[in-house]
């Protein structure tokens, strides 16, 4: 079976949770990365069975989350963490939650993963129009929503199982009379390591209300997906994609007021 790490699960309302369930139903082992300030509530709710109903898979069994990793994807390594965050009560109770440390811990625990899911975003000034957005708000949106994917992929790649290229041959027409066989050959990378993130159409079209630099962050995420697919595909045989999501009443969407 495959092993998936899903970054950005802190309750049972978001895309991360739904993706985790689909992967679990398909037989994958599930690891999740949960934002440090949300960790306690999430773990307590899991333990108390609050998610048992929504953990139910199509075959009636419950999705097992093998391990929950505390994660703050705006910090790459401990040196990047400012003093006030380090000493913050919500952070000081957990350890090894920077991207680099999370990947090191996953490596120690399991050795490798096959699937990386990035289902996280944060824009502190999302309710402000772009014209009203401060530099800090803009950079924070890009850091949490775009660079977090670059960072997670960069750190996970060394422990991601590479894909293999497969020749696919289709006989899509066979005419006995003429002995005419038309063959289509495709050279495709269809197995192994894959990374995916979630984006939003506000990257391309004007969606009033999706402010604070979040539209910019999604535009960066989409462009990065192409560049990273090229780089990670060539060098490491890992696929990189993003899905432009429809509306889902998650915690993040409620914060935007959508």
Angle at 193 between CA 95 and CA 237, to 5 degrees: 120
Using CB positions, name the residue nearest to ligand ZID.
Answer: 14
**Beta strands in the chain, from DSSP E residues, in sequence order:** 3-7, 29-35, 65-71, 115-118, 165-175, 180-189, 194-199, 239-244
- Residue whose CB is less far from ligand ZID, 186 or 251: 251
The least CB distance from residue 70 to ligand ZID, in Å, is 9
The least CB distance from residue 48 to ligand ZID, in Å, is 19
The least CB distance from residue 28 to ligand ZID, in Å, is 19
User: What does each C-alpha distance from 122 to 83, 87, 133 come to in angstroms?
Assistant: 21, 22, 14
Q: Which residue has the tokens 């914060």?
A: 255
**Tokens at 148, concatenated:** 């977090």
- Residue whose CB is less far from ligand ZID, 72 or 101: 72
Given 15, 69, 91, 210, the catalytic residue: 210
- Residue whose CB is less far from ligand ZID, 114 or 147: 147
Give the ranges where 26-156 is alpha helix by DSSP (H).
39-47, 83-86, 89-92, 99-110, 135-142, 148-156
Q: Count Cα atoms within 13 angstroms, Cβ side, for 254.
A: 5
Could you confirm whether 200 is annotated as catalytic?
yes
The least CB distance from residue 145 to ligand ZID, in Å, is 6
- Decide if 39 contacts 94 (C-beta within 8 A): yes
Rounded CA gap, 250 and 136, in Å?
A: 25
- Residue whose CB is less far from ligand ZID, 173 or 251: 251
The least CB distance from residue 208 to ligand ZID, in Å, is 11
The least CB distance from residue 243 to ligand ZID, in Å, is 8
- Residue whose CB is less far from ligand ZID, 219 or 252: 252
Residues in CB range of 10: below 8 A, 6 or more apart = 34, 35, 38, 39, 41, 42, 251
- Residue whose CB is less far from ligand ZID, 24 or 71: 71
Number of other CB atoms surrounding residue 205 within 10 Å: 9
Rounded CA gap, 49 and 20, in Å?
A: 17
- Decide if 35 contacts 146 (C-beta within 8 A): no
Given 91, 138, 147, 200, the catalytic residue: 200
Which residues of this protein are in contact with ligand ZID, per CB under 6 A? 8-10, 13-16, 35, 38, 71-74, 119-122, 144, 198, 200, 245-248, 250-253, 258
Q: What are the residue numbers of the active site?
A: 200, 210
């Amino acid at each position: 079976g495959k092993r998936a790490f899903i970054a950005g699960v802190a309750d049972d309302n978001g895309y991360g949770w739904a993706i985790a369930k689909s992967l679990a139903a398909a037989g994958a082992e599930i690891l999740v990365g949960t934002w440090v300030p949300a960790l306690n509530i999430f773990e307590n709710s899991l333990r108390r069975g609050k998610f048992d109903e929504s953990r139910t898979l199509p075959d009636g069994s419950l999705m097992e989350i093998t391990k929950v990793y505390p994660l703050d994807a705006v910090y790459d390594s401990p040196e990047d963490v400012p003093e006030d965050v380090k000493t913050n009560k919500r952070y000081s109770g957990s350890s090894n939650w920077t991207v680099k440390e999370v990947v090191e811990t996953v490596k120690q625990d399991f050795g490798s993963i096959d699937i990386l899911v990035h289902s996280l975003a944060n824009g502190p000034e999302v309710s402000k129009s772009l014209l009203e957005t401060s530099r800090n708000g803009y950079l924070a949106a890009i850091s949490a929503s775009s660079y977090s994917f670059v960072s997670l992929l960069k750190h996970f790649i060394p422990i991601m199982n590479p894909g293999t290229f497969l020749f696919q041959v289709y006989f899509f027409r066979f005419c006995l009379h003429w002995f005419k066989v038309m063959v289509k050959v495709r050279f495709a990378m269809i197995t192994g390591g894959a990374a995916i993130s979630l984006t939003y159409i506000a990257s391309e079209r004007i969606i009033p209300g999706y402010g604070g630099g979040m539209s910019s962050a999604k535009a960066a995420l989409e462009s990065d997906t192409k560049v990273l697919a090229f780089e990670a595909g060539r060098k490491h045989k890992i696929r990189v994609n993003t899905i432009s999501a429809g509306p889902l009443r998650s915690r993040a969407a409620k914060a935007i007021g959508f």
